[in-house]
A and B are shown apart, each in its own frame.
Chain A
Amino acid sequence: MPPRKRPAPPLEDPTPASRSPPADQPSEPSDSATPTISQSILAKLPSQERQMYIVIFEAGSKGMWMQDIRKKLMLGPQIGNKIARNLVSMKLVKEVSDVRHRSKKVFMATDFQPSAEITGGTWYHDGRLDSDAVAAARRSCKAQVERLGVATAQMIHNGILRDNPNAGYTIDKIRDIVRTMVLDKVLEEVKSTGEGEFSSIRSGTVCYRVAWAAEGGMMEGIPCGICPRIDECSPEGVISPSTCVYYKKWLQMDF
């Protein structure tokens, strides 16, 4: 079965971002403001620098990995790095960190802002996940659902904006956070019936309420349930229940 998403080839999509830009990045240019390559700059550049600048510029807001640039221009590592350094010193190109591949050098024309695919989006800061920001957003969402009982993503968003107008979350970001909370079983997704507790929500609308923690079985309480060596365990084997250290610890006994 094909994967749902593959990294898009950079040259086929010269627009700054293939995804919808996050609203918390207002500097993201709209379609009308798509940067175009300046002929005057190109005219000033030596041949090799010009070629590399064109390739990097065409990659747009996604930038281009050094190895791909070299492959495309058929350059050696030393030459490639030297030209890139020149372009960076001329402030035509900048080095950005790709959240997906932190060790890779990705270059981007200074006219572009890194796309969410490169930066990781709202929840990333300096190429790293901002766990505190995620946790704060989750807390806000949960507080809204607890207050309302049952709420749609829009209701949660409105509630957060009312309580904290400076929070700066977009509805899409709230949806993302709420989805992860459903995965964690902090919230559960339900469809409104339009009656009872759903009376304020149109019937059929997806909404959220606080979920009950999943109830596990006895397996969690028995050493074998979480034993990392269970596959090697047998009554007559080297690892066996009668000599098991986890059982010994559990029952606080000496064999």
Chain B
Amino acid sequence: MVSQHGILLAISIISDHFGPLVSKVCGCLLRHGPLSLQDIIRRLQLSSGQVKNSLLVLIQHNCVQAYSTPRGSGDKTVTLYLAIFDNVLHRLRFSKFLSLVRVDIPESEVLLEGLLQNGRLTFDQLVGRTISKAPEGSPAPTREEIRMNFNKLVYAHYVERCPRPEPFFDPLADEQPTSTRKRAPKAVEIVLSLEQKILRTAALSDAERFSEIPYFMEGSSNANEHDNHAVAGGKRKHEDLEVDEEDSIIAENEVLWRTNFEKFIFCLKKKFCAERKKTKLKLGTHVIWEAFFEANVTNNDSKTVTSPINRILERVGQKEGGTSMTLDQIISVLNDLECISTTRNPEDFTFDLNKLVEACRNDEIESLVKKKHGQEAYTIFRLLLKQGCPVETDEITDRTILDKQVVHGTLYKLWKDEYIDSERVPYVSGTGGSQFFVWRVKNTYREQFIDHLYHTALNLRHMVNNLAELLLEGTKDETKLRNRKNILVLALTRHDESLMLFHDF
């Protein structure tokens, strides 16, 4: 469930991008969960047309997923609309997605830009847009060139085919293990939220999602290699080509494509982890750390990065000072960097991103506690986190070797700020008095921190909008205002890293 300020932030983003009406519909879905068209109309007191159009905009921009579900005990079904909070938030980081592609596949940037701006498009629409956007004076790209650049995006999984528009999802049947659930082994199956279950139902298989637009023109001899719809052997070649041509026409004119946010978030996660650890590396190990990430092969999950030693060696060799390093040296440094190879795959080195992400999350919260309440609060908070159970006041004093009065004052500050909880334990006989207190970190401190993150982002956006309005009104201090707005925009961009760290990574 999204926290209160998370919903307000999402509404603010949608309101800025699509106006108040669409944001009302989005807010209604975020607050109440999946609703039918009639329910939305009733709750918002808007006309059917207004709600329908708003839903269409939200679906077009991947912020809402429709699905049908059984109504009553009969065979009747009803269409419900589910707001996808994550995708709304991703709208904050489109510039980051674009810059990733700019570095990786610069020739395809304009295509991704089209998809980000328009949500979902057919290839045909993308071609039209790309040709019209071609800079004056330079020759317009051909359809073949655009197809090639587009397929590069699909091949790299930056772009995917849109999920099913209205899958059938029965929450009751979902309780039972179904054939789709069998894919994940039971031991690692995690509890999915309703939103995740619906999105999983709507998702296409990986083969379908990333099936490139088939080539059927001359010079595309490797067509079958890319074609997932390749027919079984034994058919005549011209039949293959006919199927290809038909598939290609469908893929170009009918199939809707969209940005694959998962891939971008994984790339940003990798980048974040690489950067965070980089500042803490010893002299001479930077080269290997960089080479490890550059040599990364496609991963099956978003939790780890795996690179084969051959590719790491190749990359290290290309770097300054890398040629003089021996294999043993590199392996020793990789082990120090917690890049582990297993006995099953001694050639592959894997780094656990999630472990680093978790450490970074703790660092951010603890660091804020320090900034807000001082060094003593930091020490006590870390002690309580480490203990993970209630700790008595005197024990806190003993373990932190801090002055008792300071400990009392600090515990009160942390308690008031809702980081920790206290419990009064009665004590009948003895010299210590009639009661004493035990303290522990609140179970909800992470959720509170995330809500605080959303609230901060919301306030930053509010300030940016305020300044933008002032700039529009016109003022003599325009340069000053513009500089301040830039500071806020920059802060918002950096703050988004924390949002991703806690929500998306």
Residues of chain A at the chain B interface (Cβ within 8 Å): 1, 3-10, 59, 62-65, 68, 98-102, 106, 123, 128-129, 131, 134, 176-177, 179-180, 183-185, 193, 195-197, 212, 214-222, 224-226, 230, 233, 235, 240-242, 244, 247, 251, 253
Contacts and interface: CB of A to CB of B under 8 A. Distances in A.
In this complex, which of A98, A101, A102 has the most chain B Cβ atoms within 10 angstroms of its Cβ?
A101
B452 A222 contact: no
Given A7-B430, A183-B383, A217 B497 contact: yes
Given A176-B401, A226-B371, A253-B484, A4 B391 contact: yes
Question: What are the 3 closest A-B residue pairs judged by CB atoms, nearest first?
Answer: A216-B367, A7-B432, A217-B498
B430 A68 contact: yes
Between A106, A179, A183, A218, the greatest number of chain B beta carbons within 10 A of the residue's beta carbon is seen for A218
Nearest to A173: B401
Interface string B482-501: 00100110010011011001
B484 to A, nearest CB: 5
A128 B403 contact: yes
A9 B276 CA distance: 50
A253 B475 CA distance: 14
Contact of B425 (A3, A68, A102): A3
B145 interface: no
A217 B391 contact: no
B430 A180 contact: no
B491 A222 contact: yes
A7 B488 CA distance: 53
Interface string B315-339: 0000000000000000010011000
Nearest to A242: B466
Contacts of A8: 430
Q: Which of A63, A193, A212, A225 has the most CB of B within 10 A?
A: A225
A9 B399 contact: no
Contacts of A63: 431
Contacts of A235: 458, 462
Contact of B487 (A6, A177, A184, A251): A251
A151 B463 CA distance: 50
Range of interface residues on chain B?
35 or more
A215 B276 contact: yes
B18 interface: no
A99 B332 contact: no
Given A100-B432, A184-B379, A219-B498, A5 B392 contact: yes
B456 A9 contact: no
A218 B389 contact: no
Given A5-B394, A180-B400, A222-B495, A65 B368 contact: no
A219 B452 contact: yes
B10 to A, nearest CB: 15
Interface in B373-418: 375, 378-379, 382-383, 386-387, 389-392, 394-395, 397, 399-404
B390 A3 contact: yes
21 contacts: A4-B389, A4-B390, A5-B392, A5-B394, A5-B395, A7-B430, A7-B431, A10-B430, A65-B431, A129-B403, A134-B401, A176-B399, A184-B379, A197-B336, A214-B364, A216-B368, A224-B452, A224-B460, A226-B368, A241-B460, A247-B463
A9 B371 contact: no
Contacts of B430: 7-10, 68
A35 B73 CA distance: 84
Contacts of A7: 394, 427, 430-432, 436
A138 B111 CA distance: 58
B229 interface: no
Nearest to B12: A235
Contact of B431 (A62, A134, A180): A62
B244 to A, nearest CB: 50
A1 B389 contact: yes
A220 B431 contact: no
B102 interface: no
A184 B375 contact: yes
A219 B456 contact: yes
